[in-house]
């Protein structure tokens, strides 16, 4: 089976335990994660062979990170070695009306110092059928944007499917270029585009009329986003499918979750999940993307089923601590069949 390739930064995550604030905590829990690495873990759990491409230094922390990826059966054959540090992010988990907080310490990380010509993309893609990247990677540095652009170009030349999660992070675009200047050129090479209401607006100025996420009260109407999908597809005609995740935030612990897909002139709307006791929402979008890629590969011609699989998989991710989604295909299928009871399996 041909592989799915993902490219980006994997970081050490240091999180205050439980719902403690940073100032209260005397210890931090350690995990590793990052948008594209999280997608690779999801796919590996579903039995899809993957390779994660990044750049890490030659030190024990990087070896620890690589061993974690290998533990989840993610391929690490094309990880470049160099630079001096692994990126870090700190997480404070919010509760009820208090939002979660993320503090980045990733400037000057090894992958931020990557550039075009450093990865042999033709070799990386020699046994690949899919390439996935996110808007986080070109936000890290001009060199990372160049490497991402080079990967997309080679993937296009080799006939490999390219997917993108727009993933706008305003605090990362700090090297003198705006997302609106860099992203269009990259997204033009994509067959699949995933985003949310903020991504489309902040990066491309595209938004649904009269929509305010702060006033949803947990209810998000998928039909409102059909115009967003149409506008994105018109601007990026190579894209065969445009997908929007729909999160209604009642509070930090209680969200509604769903999605819609626009393909072949049709809008598909998923079932909506009411997630009342969120364990960890970090990586929710990545788990959606992992489920979507699996669905589009496994259920060819059935876009609705692929969408429903992605939404169910990411709903389950909200019950799992850490960045990555550690669920199986059978667990997702069980939820799709209506078994959300959470009863003990004996």
How many beta carbons lie within 10 A of that of residue 215, not counting itself? 7
Q: Write phi, then psi, for 106 (nearest 5 degrees).
A: -130, 0
DSSP string, 238-266: T-SEEEEEEEEEEETTEEEEEEEEEETTE
The model's pTM is 0.94
In a domain, 340, yes or no: no
Give the range of the structural domain holding residue 117, as residue numbers without chain letter: 3-333
pLDDT for 197? 79
In a domain, 342, yes or no: no
Q: Which residues of 140-170 are buried (b: 16+ CB within 10 A; e: fewer)?
A: bbebbbbbbbbbbebbbeeebbbbbbbbbbe
In a domain, 44, yes or no: yes
Query: How big is the CA angle at 142 (ends 4 and 168), to the nearest 5 degrees?
Result: 65
**How far is residue 261's CA from residue 246's CA, in Å, rounded to a whole number?**
11
- Structurally, the chain folds into a number of domains equal to 1
Contact between 115 and 145 under an 8 Å Cβ cutoff? The reply is no
**How far is residue 232's CA from residue 243's CA, in Å, rounded to a whole number?**
10
Helices 303-317 and 329-336: crossing angle, nearest 10°? 110
In a domain, 309, yes or no: yes
In a domain, 243, yes or no: yes
Q: Both ends of the chain: CA-CA distance in Å? A: 33
pLDDT tens for the chain, 346 residues long, are 899 999 999 999 999 999 999 999 999 999 999 999 999 999 999 999 999 999 999 999 999 999 999 999 999 999 999 999 999 999 999 999 999 999 999 999 999 999 999 999 999 999 999 999 999 999 999 999 999 999 999 999 999 999 999 999 988 999 999 999 999 999 999 999 999 878 999 999 998 766 665 555 556 667 778 889 999 999 999 999 999 999 989 999 999 999 999 999 999 999 999 999 999 999 999 999 999 999 999 999 999 999 999 999 999 999 999 999 999 999 999 999 987 766 656 5
In a domain, 343, yes or no: no
Query: What CATH number has the domain bearing residue 47?
Result: 3.40.1190.20
pLDDT for 286? 97
In a domain, 341, yes or no: no
In a domain, 182, yes or no: yes
Separation of CA 157 from chain center: 24
């Amino acid at each position: 089976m041909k592989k799915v390739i993902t490219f980006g930064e994997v970081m050490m995550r240091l999180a205050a335990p439980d719902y403690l604030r940073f100032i209260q905590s005397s210890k931090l829990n350690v995990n590793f994660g990052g948008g594209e690495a999280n997608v690779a873990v999801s796919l590996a759990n579903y039995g899809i062979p993957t390779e994660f491409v990044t750049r890490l230094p030659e030190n024990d922390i990087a070896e620890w990170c690589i061993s974690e990826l290998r533990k989840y059966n993610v391929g690490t054959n094309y990880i470049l070695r160099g630079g001096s540090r692994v990126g870090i992010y700190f997480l404070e988990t919010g509760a009820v009306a208090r939002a979660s907080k993320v503090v980045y310490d990733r400037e000057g990380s090894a992958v931020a110092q990557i550039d075009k010509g450093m990865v042999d993309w033709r070799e990386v893609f020699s046994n690949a059928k899919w390439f996935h990247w996110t808007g986080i990677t070109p936000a890290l540095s001009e060199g990372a944007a160049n490497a991402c652009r080079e990967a997309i170009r080679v993937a296009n030349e080799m006939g490999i499917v390219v997917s993108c999660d727009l993933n706008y992070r305003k605090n990362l675009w700090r090297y003198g270029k705006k997302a609106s200047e860099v992203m269009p050129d990259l997204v033009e090479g994509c067959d699949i585009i995933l985003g949310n209401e903020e991504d489309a607006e902040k990066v491309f100025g595209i938004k649904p009329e009269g929509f305010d996420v702060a006033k949803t009260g947990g209810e998000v109407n998928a039909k409102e986003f059909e115009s967003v999908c149409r506008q994105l597809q018109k601007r990026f005609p190579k894209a065969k499918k445009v997908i929007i995740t729909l999160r209604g935030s009642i509070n930090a612990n209680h969200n509604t979750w769903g999605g819609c897909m626009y393909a072949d002139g049709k809008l598909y709307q998923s079932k909506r999940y009411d997630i009342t006791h969120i364990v960890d929402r970090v990586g929710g979008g990545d788990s959606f993307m992992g489920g979507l890629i699996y669905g589009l590969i496994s259920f060819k011609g059935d876009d609705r089923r692929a969408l429903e699989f992605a939404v169910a998989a990411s709903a389950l991710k909200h019950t799992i601590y850490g960045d990555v989604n550690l669920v199986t295909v059978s667990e997702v299928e069980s939820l799709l069949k209506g078994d959300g009871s959470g009863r003990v399996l004996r």
